[in-house]
Amino acid sequence: MIDWELILRLLVAGLLGGAIGLERSFRAKEAGVRTHFLVALGSAMFMLISQYGFSGAERFDAARVAAQVVSGIGFLGAGIIIFQKNTVRGLTTAAGLWVASAIGLGCGAGLYVLSGTTCILALICLEVMHYILLRSGSKTMEIVFSSDSEEKVKAILRTFKKEIEEESLTCSEGRYRVRLAVIVRRSTTIEQILERFKEVTVDSIG
């Protein structure tokens, strides 16, 4: 007999986890839809195995398998976190995987409302906080440089692509003008960006 209720739990877990992953994909983060979908789906499956896989055993503990998911997801999250040049990246995405795992466990247990609420709150946190940080920490800068430095400037822009929300490149009378909207984060400050641009032949920075 096919238990459609259990299949529904798996489907809901994957969809809710994928929703968080979709937001991460829009932000070009390390883990996207597929990763979050699989984490939530796997967590839900572990919960179902924990609940129904050993129900006929003499010593049955429904929480034993599910409890290992909480600690096991930490290894996956650690793979997302990157330490580079005294900067830690990927903490928010790793936390998103942790939440996706919790949502999967909740769906596996049949707690649809609680899992859905958790997903909505996670998305609100990610989107609203991104908007607030964008508005409060966004700085505009303008750079004028000669045409022979174009490739070097573009290489620097690619280096800071996660910190630059908007950019425009115009050319007039043999000179290039770049206008940037930069998000000031702890990982990258305006001073660091300016220091990199000083490496090329720049006429003015403002």
Domains and CATH numbers, the chain: 4-134 (no CATH), 137-205 (3.30.70.260)
Taking CA atoms, 78 is separated from 72, 73, 94, 161, in Å, by 10, 9, 7, 23
Range 18-25 average pLDDT: 88
Q: Where is 166: in which H helix or E strand?
A: strand 164-172
Report the candidate in 141, 91, 129, 116 with the shortest Cα–Cα distance to residue 40. Answer: 116
Q: Is the dihedral of CA 34, 37, 40, 41 positive or negative?
A: negative
Q: What are phi and psi of 153, to 5 degrees?
A: -65, -45
Note the pLDDT of residue 31.
Answer: 78
Residue 152 has pLDDT above 70, yes or no: yes
**Which tokens is 134 given?**
């964008």
pLDDT tens digits, residue range 90-148? 778 888 889 999 999 999 989 999 999 999 999 998 888 766 665 556 667 777 776 66
Q: Where is 203: in which H helix or E strand?
A: strand 202-205
Q: Can you tell me the distance from the alpha carbon of 57 to that of 60, in angstroms, rounded to the nearest whole number?
A: 6
- Residue with the bigger pLDDT between 195 and 23: it is 23
Task: Give the distance, in angstroms, between the CA of residue 8 and the centroid of all CA atoms in the same chain.
Answer: 27
pLDDT tens digits, residue range 26-80? 777 777 889 899 999 999 998 888 888 776 666 667 677 777 887 788 777 777 7
User: Who contacts 149 (Cβ-Cβ below 8 Å, separation ≥6)?
Assistant: 176, 200, 201, 202
Taking CA atoms, 41 is separated from 55, 81, 91, 154, in Å, by 21, 22, 22, 41
Q: Can you tell me the distance from the alpha carbon of 140 to that of 38, in angstroms, rounded to the nearest whole number?
A: 39
